[in-house]
Structures are given as C-alpha cells and as structure tokens.
C-alpha cells in the first residue's frame, strides 16, 4: 500500500517532465511521514510513473542515389571510358606507325587508376551536391542542379572521343615528315 503523501504526488509525477525531482520530493515526504512511526516499519520505495514524451520528428531521409543519379553517373562513366579508349587506340596506332611525337605508350594500369580516381572524385562531388545540407544557405537550389556538371562533362568527353576517332594519318609518311 502506498503512503498518502505518495498518492498525493502521483498525479503531479505523471504530468511532470522532471520525474527525478518529483520522485526525490515524494521520497522525502514519505520519510517525513514515517519519522513518527516505529523504526521496524518498512518504507516502501516510491513507484516511478513512466512519463510518455511526444515523439520526436523522424529526420527526413532524402534518397540521393536514385535512378536519375545512377543514369547520369553511368553516362559520365561511359563517356569517360569512350574518351579514354579512343585516345589509347590513337596513341597505340601512332606509336606502331613510328610517329616521332609518340615516344612511348603509357601502361594501361597506370591510366586506369588515374582516371578511376578522377571519376570517383566526380561521383563524390555529385553525391554531395545532391545530398541535403542544413548548414548551406540556398541548399535547395544547389541540390536541383547536381546534374549540371556531370552532364556538361559527358558532352565534353564524347566530343573528345569522336575527335580521336576522326584523327587522320599524317599527310606525309613518317620518314618524310621528319625531314621537313
């Protein structure tokens, strides 16, 4: 059975946002009430009433990697691969033909690692631009144009790749060009 002092405080406990303070206050009242009784009487500890707090709003999760993001970044990756492959083929053919301006062809692993790092940086920048930032003023406007840089680079890489495909052999044979 609960002491009368605790029953009087229980409704206040249920409405309070500070249950620890109210519990200590109720516990001290229980002690004051039991001081006059014999020392063998057991003091019942106060019962903690669970206070239900309102739910905090869940943070809005914005889906950054969606179909549009994958499509734009895949187009960028494809355009960069197209440019890389055509430039490499041009260098290989010019080196095989004995062109004096191509002294050696760089190894594939070095170039792939270099361009993969550049692509990874472009991917990270596009991801960060599309992701919401509470500290950035004008963030909603910036987030709408995350696709502008990758799209511009797609057209530039395709243009460079096509230019490499259209590369023509020198107008004179390599031996004659050296003498000129």
Residue with the larger pLDDT of the pair 9 and 77: 77
Mean pLDDT over residues 17-40, rounded?
56
In this structure, what DSSP letter does residue 59 have?
Answer: P
pLDDT value at 15 more than 90: no
Residue with the larger pLDDT of the pair 58 and 21: 58
Residue 117: the pLDDT is: 95
Mean pLDDT over residues 38-49, rounded?
61
Q: What are phi and psi of 3, to 5 degrees?
A: -65, 155
Prediction pTM value:
0.61
Tokens, residue 28 = 């001290």
Residue 165: the pLDDT is: 92
Tokens, residue 100 = 């004096």
Q: Give the closest residue to 144 by CA, choosing from 134, 155, 131.
A: 131
pLDDT value at 19 more than 90: no
Residue 119: the pLDDT is: 95
Distance CA 34, CA 43 (A): 7
pLDDT in tens, 103-157: 888 888 888 899 999 999 999 999 999 999 888 888 889 899 999 999 999 999 9
Contacts (Cβ under 8 Å, ≥6 apart) of 79: 153, 154, 155, 157, 158, 161
Residue 123: the pLDDT is: 96
**Taking CA 57 as the corner, what is the angle to CA 135 and CA 140, rounded to the nearest 5 degrees?**
35
Residue 8: the pLDDT is: 55
Distance CA 167, CA 180 (A): 21
Coil, strand or helix at 26: helix
pLDDT value at 38 more than 90: no
Residue 128: the pLDDT is: 93
Mean pLDDT over residues 43-56, rounded?
70
Q: Give the closest residue to 65 by CA, choosing from 116, 128, 115.
A: 128
């Amino acid at each position: 059975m609960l002491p009368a002092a605790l029953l009087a405080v229980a409704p206040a406990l249920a409405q309070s946002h500070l249950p620890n303070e109210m519990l200590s206050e109720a516990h001290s009242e229980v002690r004051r009430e039991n001081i006059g009784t014999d020392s063998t009487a057991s003091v019942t500890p106060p019962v903690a009433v669970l206070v239900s707090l309102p739910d905090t709003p869940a943070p809005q999760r914005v889906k950054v990697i969606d179909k549009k993001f994958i499509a734009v970044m895949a187009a960028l990756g494809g355009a960069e691969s197209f440019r890389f492959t055509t430039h490499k083929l041009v260098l290989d053919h010019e080196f095989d033909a004995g062109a004096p301006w191509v002294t050696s062809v760089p190894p594939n692993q070095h170039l792939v690692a270099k361009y993969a790092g550049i692509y990874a940086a472009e991917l990270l920048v596009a991801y960060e631009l599309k992701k919401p930032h509470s500290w950035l003023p004008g963030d909603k406007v910036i987030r709408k144009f995350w696709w502008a840089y990758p799209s511009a680079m797609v057209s530039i890489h395709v243009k460079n790749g096509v230019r490499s495909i259209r590369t023509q052999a020198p107008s004179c044979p390599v031996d004659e060009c050296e003498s000129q």
